[in-house]
Amino acid sequence: MTLSVKDRVFAAAEQISAERRPTVSTVRAAAGVSNADATRYLKEWIEEKQAAGGQVAATPAVLLEQAARLAGAVWAEASGVANERHAAAEAVWVQEKKDLNQEVAELVADLDRVTGEKEAAAAESAARIAELESQAAAMGEQLVQARTAERDAAAAASEAGTRAAAAEARAGALQEAHDALLQRITPEAPTQESTPEGSPDA
């Protein structure tokens, strides 16, 4: 059996009133009706409750005062606990910040040290490279000089060989001239002449 809109509003109001005072919005959401229907039938429900004597009596002033005191005490306790937790959290934060600052300072010191070592190593490497380049330049110059000297020595050796060959040729020519001259100035050996006529052997 399908309930009417009124029945759904009344049922929702009864259910909600078990926990808290029903309102238009809570009844409308629970009953699934329009805002106008919730407003209309909730008003009727309240009127019926009031007519039937079902209205909740007004809260006594003493009870309200005690409730206010209790709420104040709870609030004070909660505030104290919150302040303690805040103080503890702040102390932890301050310590963590201090530790972090110290760690950052140590990292900065390490970075400065590493940077210094790197710069020193770079300077040493640059000096070593400059020294090696200077040595290489000197060795290159010496190599050029050695090659020049080698070429000069080769040229001198070639020239000496040429002179030696020329001297040898002149010596040979002089020897030939000397031999020819000796042949010209040396008298020929006498040949045996015929025996003169009238010799005893004739």
Residues 151-200: pLDDT tens digits? 998 898 899 889 889 988 988 999 999 888 888 897 665 555 545 555 55
3-state SS assignment for residue 57 = coil
Average pLDDT, the chain: 83
Residue 179 lies in a domain: no
Residue 37 lies in a domain: yes
Task: Looking at mean pLDDT, say which of 20-34, 70-84, 105-119 comes out highest.
Answer: 20-34
In which band, very low, low, confident or very high, does the pLDDT at 45 lie, cut at 50, 70 and 90? very high
Residue 29 lies in a domain: yes
Question: Taking CA 184 as the corner, what is the angle to CA 180 and CA 189, rounded to the nearest 5 degrees?
Answer: 120
Residue 189 lies in a domain: no
In which band, very low, low, confident or very high, does the pLDDT at 55 lie, cut at 50, 70 and 90? very low
Residue 25 lies in a domain: yes
Locus of tokens 């001297």: 167
Rounded average pLDDT over 100-127: 86
In which band, very low, low, confident or very high, does the pLDDT at 202 lie, cut at 50, 70 and 90? very low
Burial (Cβ within 10 Å: 0-12, 13-18, ≥19) of residue 33 = buried
Distance CA 102, CA 88 (A): 21
Residue 21 lies in a domain: yes
Cβ 35 vs Cβ 24: under 8 Å: yes
pLDDT at 29 (0 to 100): 93
Distance CA 116, CA 122 (A): 10
How many domains does the chain contain in total?
1
pTM for the complete prediction? 0.32
Gyration radius from the chain CA atoms: 69
pLDDT at 154 (0 to 100): 87
Residue 93 lies in a domain: no
Residue 4 lies in a domain: yes
pLDDT at 167 (0 to 100): 87
Domain that holds residue 32: 1-56
- For the chain, the farthest-separated pair of C-alpha atoms sits apart, in whole angstroms, at 220
